[in-house]
Structure 1
Amino acid sequence: MSSSVAQVMAEVRATDWSRFSIPAENHLWDYEASRVVPAFEQLLEVFDEETRQRAVWALLGALGHNHSGTPSLAMVRGGELLVEMFPYLDAWALDGVIEVLTDCYLFVAGVSDYRTADGAVHDLTVLQPVIASLRPKLSALATSGPVEVRSSAAELARTIDEVPWVTESRGSGQARSVLGASPGWGEDAR
């Protein structure tokens, strides 16, 4: 495990995942903070397709409701940490992260009104540009990356290009849809 993965895992372990335990009012809610850290740890132990798939299901189940495609508040922080970890993973773990990020990208698409029992409204679409920042790396992986990740990298790149994300215009109160373009896209974001 590289020191960078170790640093991200230290952030995973230091995150107070229980702060995301506020039930949603307008979305299916099935979040247990105790599942998050073990799911990240499971990701680092993958060595083949079977263990990769189990880790993907564990992460998606920890960060949202996998079977319904419903996010939780933890998905934003979890997605940020997966993006941080992205460049340092071996092929099987990287393929799993790409699959999780693809689903997270789709789970939060248009979810700008995630309401919790405490009366707060959360915009989960803030995760989409974080994931979209990987677009140049995904293109490279899709054509010349390890065989295990080529297909999933191409799929996430396509998803970023084809699924619009919504951003709130500062001061105007109006949402605008952004499709296939973001400042800095096309540049190598190393």
Structure 2
Amino acid sequence: MRDARSHILEVAERLFYAEGYRAVGVDRLIAEADVAKATFYRHFRTKDELLVAVLEARDARFRAWLAGRVEALAGDPRDRPLAVFDALAELFAADDFRGCAFLNTMVEVANRSHPAHEAAQRHKLRLIDYFERLLREAGVPAADALSPQLLLLIDGAIVTAVREGGPGAAARARSLAENLIATARPGRRRR
């Protein structure tokens, strides 16, 4: 078996994503991870500390996955901002898709000063930075203003995908993003 800390993180992430943070108690985490209570508490003093660690690990994995998928889907940097939506469509089509773990956490832990809420917010800010870089590399002006708008489209698409149960929201959000990007490019007149 992998080290106990990694195993506990893996089990917690699976349960929190599938059932929600508040629905899963520490005793259940310990039982599902098949570790001693002392082992659990040696690695994580509190369930909140565990949730923050889960979010930080998921953030790193998700951003690496997204960057890899975007590059695989779009060889030309000019196509990469829209390829984000194509990558998300793949996630939305998965049978176990339950939305965004970070948005889910923000809803469950609504206190903005809670460490888990702050970790989820850091993830969203890192995505904005990533989108800004993609937009700059694509030659889109005002990338700093446009990147938060793309995140807004993505977050809305995620919620819609949960509501509808499929990938269609990603294509609709992609179309809106395409219009925003086209409007921002030089030579396009704003209406």
Q: Which has the higher strand share?
A: 1
Q: Which has the larger radius of gyration?
A: 2
Q: Which has the higher helix share?
A: 2
Higher RCO by CA contacts (8 Å cutoff, separation 6 or greater):
2
Q: How high is the TM-score relative to the length of structure 1? A: 0.35
